[in-house]
Amino acid sequence: MMEHSKAKVKLLGKYLEKYFNIICNTAHIQQIHVYDLFCGEGVYKDGSEGSPIVILNQINNINPIIQNKLGNTIKIHCTFNDNDPKKVEKLQATIKQRNLHNLHYGDIFFETKDYKEQCEIITQKLSKQKKFEKTFIFIDPYGYKHIKINQIKSFMVHGNAEVLLWLPTQFMYRFSNNGTPEALKDFISEIFQDFNKWKSTNSVWEFIKQLKEGFKRNLDGVYVDTFTIQKDQNTVFCLFFFTTHIRGFEEMLETKWEIDTEQGRGWSYIQSQRGESLFPEEKTNSLEESLTKYLEGTPRSNVEIYEFTLREGFLPKHTNEVFSNWQSNNRLEVIPQGAEKVRKGAFYIAYKYYKDKNKKVIFQMR
């Protein structure tokens, strides 16, 4: 198994661990449908485990019986699809041999359809999905020529679906500079409507950022962010995640920041204040810059700032740090909206206020 594939399945495992955890803490969900659309053969010659095995391991790691908050048992059904029947056969045998299919968790379906056909089937199913169902879709192609933003859009419009998409950004950005291949041109043109709107770059971080912005612009109401793993200066592996649920999104961002911290790329606001960021290329502190722009001339409520922070890919605790600093330096005014007094350092940037549209304070730059 290639090194980048190992990184990818590690992220998939972490994501699912969190995902199942969130769902088990949701009151009404009773069924989860997991789709691995390019599933591969399961176990590689060197013994490393591919996405279907990682998915089943995560399912088997949850308590023997998974219950939602109301005490209903949750079933998790998996569909493993690959257009190479030999790979699917091998996967089926491995799952049997390792006894990975625990029947009370749900069903496993093995399919050998083309990705495009599967996309149509899933979109159909999603249009009929009930409130107690959730769908998770993992898309791991060899390249990117199969991937269309419209497919992702059609998954997301019905709500209750999460998508994790692997793109080989570590190869894609190098081409984007000189002599862009037709397939990459098509891919970028679909996202940006016009290829000329795309700025070619020799920074992989910039490439990923542009793609993310492109996805966001195309997918109204969808929260988009990335998981990245950096191997060396020029090699960055990246998974894109898509969801319509802001709370789920916040939890995913927490996982992302945990992974980034493990990778030594965590939040480093203090460093940036002193102007000595360790990773100038990636700019972990772009939050301060974007908050400044967002607040310039326009006062914003705690509810707006919560959503803005997440959409920027950061957590409320990060904005709290920036605001504390601004407050101490007299750059930020925090204006209470009720009769209650607001103590210094209290900013109310949290889901519970967002959910109730509870505008406790308004922030204004001085």
Residues that bind ligand SAM (CB under 6 A): 5, 9, 38-40, 50-51, 82-84, 87, 114-115, 140-142, 146
- The residue among 141 and 159 lying less far from ligand SAM, judged by its C-beta, is 141
- Cα angle vertex 89, ends 61, 12, to 5°? 35
Q: Which residues contact 287 (CB under 8 A, 6 or more apart)?
A: 309, 312, 314, 318, 319, 322
- Angle at which helices 85-97 and 51-61 cross, to 10°: 30
Pick from 161, 163, 168, 140: which is nearest to 42 by CA? 140
CB of 311 to ligand SAM, least distance (A): 29
Nearer to ligand SAM, 109 or 142 (CB): 142
200 phi-psi bin (left φ>0, alpha ψ -120 to 50, beta other): beta
Nearer of residues 88 and 259 to ligand SAM, judged by Cβ:
88
Question: In this complex, which beta carbon is closest to ligand SAM, that of residue 4 or of residue 300?
Answer: 4
Residue 155 near residue 123, CB atoms below 8 Å: yes
- State how far the alpha carbon of 166 is from the alpha carbons of 5, 240, 262, 288, 346, in Å: 10, 6, 20, 29, 39
* Residues sharing a CB contact under 8 Å with residue 153, sequence separation 6 or more, in sequence order: 218, 219
121/98 Cα distance (integer angstroms): 30
CB contact at 8 A, 244 and 159: yes
* Cβ distance to ligand SAM smaller for residue 82 or 321: 82
Least distance (Å) from ligand SAM to the CB of residue 14? 14
Q: Which residue number, 42 or 316, has a Cβ lying nearer to ligand SAM?
A: 42
- CA 174, distance to chain mean position in Å, is 24
Taking the complex as a whole, the smallest distance from the CB of residue 147 to ligand SAM amounts, in Å, to 11
Phi, psi (5° rounding) for residue 168?
Answer: -75, 65
Minimum distance, C-beta of residue 349 to ligand SAM, in the bound complex (Å): 37
Q: Which residue is nearest to ligand SAM (CB)?
A: 50
73: which DSSP letter? B
CB of 164 to ligand SAM, least distance (A): 11
- Could you tell me the smallest distance in angstroms from the CB atom of residue 140 to ligand SAM? 4
Return the number of the residue (8 or 318) whose C-beta is nearest ligand SAM.
Answer: 8
* Least distance from ligand SAM to the Cβ atom of residue 222, Å: 23
> Do residues 204 and 170 lie in contact, with contact meaning Cβ atoms separated by under 8 Å?
yes
